[in-house]
Amino acid sequence: MKITYVQITRLFILVLWLGVSAIQLQAQGLATPRVSPPAELKQTIGLTEIVVNYARPKVIRDGQDRTGKIWGQAAWYGFIDAGGGKIPWRAGANENTLISFSDDVKVEGKALKAGQYGLYMALSKEGKATLIFSHKTDAWGSFGYKEADDALRVDVEMKDNHFVNPLTYDFTELGNDYGIMALSWEKKQIPFKIEVDVKEAVLANFRKQLKKEGGSSWQALNRAAAYCAGLNFNHKEALEWVEKSVHADKNIRNMSTKAQLQYQMGNKKEAFATTDDIAQKADNAQLNNLGYQMLQMKEFEKSIAYFELNVERNPKDANVYDSLGEAYMLKGDKKKAIKILKKALTLNPADNVKQNSLANLKKMGVEMKESH
């Protein structure tokens, strides 16, 4: 049957009326199912939350298979004339796709401020896609899009993919400070890399939390400082935090953090004064740990001093002799190391201590028979 121009016009008006009516019903609180249902993707990278709100058009709907008619048609190429200007694809269906970042990020290496953006895509037949992050966030589809509202544009490559029926956003790869987000639909995928500055996001959160009432306890201050010490950065501010922690409640935990920061800043004299202070208050296990921390930093003299102090305090503990012997061995004083490790074996050591002493003696060419 031949369709006349009048019939086409009436059909277009009917479709438009149905669409407008559906919008009005939604606005009036009379919810009706959508052909392309809404969806939300949430992902946290570090402390940065990324949220995508979009609608999911289908390749196969109501028994109709549109495979081969998606790219270049439903998802059109380039910019099309909408009467009020040239518009890109909405990267979804219904209202424009929205993407938000709780912190500043980089998309494909380009900086983008924290906030919410309309996400559009300008596609090409050659398999490229220009991602457009727009300040326009209240549009129906791409209507109302203006280039002047662009916050960022990045170019990416489209990839062949397995068949995906409803359009889907997902993270196909996650690292500690980045993620690969991808739009997948029909037999194509459009991936793009989002990077976050985890350390700066964590610092911003620390600063915010420490300003709150109750957020400046010695534990919170020390935790913030210890994070920086663990990653060897932001030393000046971290030292200020740990000094406040020590002032609130001086203890081995925050003093250890303080010493670590001082050492990282090149202030060895101050760092060792702090560790000496720790040593005076430390119990057997804490002093042993302090000695091994010095060993890890190859500060052999300090390590031996703390282990010898532990031997003086705990002369019948095989473990403290084992630790002291290991320190002398690593320093290169073989004669003293052998003597002290043999002493450890005479003090009825626990099995793990005995095995460590025997193994270290063997490294120095001394074979000992195990006593039972």
Where residue 308 falls among pLDDT bands split at 50, 70, 90? very high
The predicted-structure confidence for 20-51, as pLDDT tens digits, reads as follows: 444 444 445 677 788 899 999 999 999 999 99
Which residues in the chain belong to E strands, given as ranges? Answer: 38-45, 48-55, 60-61, 64-65, 80-81, 86-87, 97-101, 105-107, 110-112, 115-123, 128-134, 150-157, 159-174, 178-196
Distance CA 305, CA 294 (A): 10
pLDDT at 11 over 80: no
**What pLDDT, on the 0 to 100 scale, is given for residue 160?**
97
Percent of the chain's residues with pLDDT above 90 = 84
Q: What's the rounded mean pLDDT across residues 55-81?
A: 95
**What pLDDT, on the 0 to 100 scale, is given for residue 157?**
98
**What pLDDT, on the 0 to 100 scale, is given for residue 12?**
34
User: Residue 85's CB: how many other CB atoms inside 10 A?
Assistant: 13
264: Cα within 13 Å, side-chain hemisphere: 19
Distance CA 144, CA 122 (A): 15
Predicted model pTM: 0.75
350 vs 131, 291, 355, 368, CA distance in Å?
64, 20, 9, 16
**Cβ contact 263:297 at 8 Å:** yes
**Cβ contact 322:356 at 8 Å:** yes
Strand partners, 296: none
**What pLDDT, on the 0 to 100 scale, is given for residue 37?**
94
Where residue 370 falls among pLDDT bands split at 50, 70, 90? low
pLDDT at 113 over 80: yes
pLDDT at 14 over 90: no
pLDDT at 372 over 90: no
Percent of the chain's residues with pLDDT above 70 = 90
- How high does pLDDT run on average in the chain? 90
**What pLDDT, on the 0 to 100 scale, is given for residue 371?**
60
SS3 238: helix
Residue with structure tokens 């298979």?
Answer: 65
